[in-house]
Amino acid sequence: MAVPKRKTSRSRTRSRRAQWKATTVDLVTVRTPAGTVEVPRRLVRAVERGLIDAELLRR
């Protein structure tokens, strides 16, 4: 495992961590027998197949 040669300063560490940003999830409209629901793209197939209840995803 790599070992740093020097201690990283507090300001350098915190400024590096401050650059991280979360991204919003892409929502896709899916038609179900109960109506239309917006779900994350990765859950579209599961909702279409009925593996996930679409009512739980409504907000």
Q: Which residue has the tokens 């909702």?
A: 47
What Å distances lie between residue 16 and 5, 9, 10, 21, 23, CA to CA? 18, 11, 10, 11, 18
4 has pLDDT over 80: yes
The pLDDT score that the predictor gives to residue 55 is 76
The pLDDT score that the predictor gives to residue 59 is 61
- What is the helix (H) or strand (E) element at residue 14, kind and residue range? helix 10-17
pTM for the structure as a whole: 0.55
Taking the mean position of all CA atoms in its chain, how far away is CA 46?
Answer: 16
Beta-bridge mates of residue 32 = 35
Q: What is the pLDDT of residues 7-59, one digit of tens each?
A: 989 998 888 888 888 888 899 999 888 788 899 999 999 988 889 887 777 66
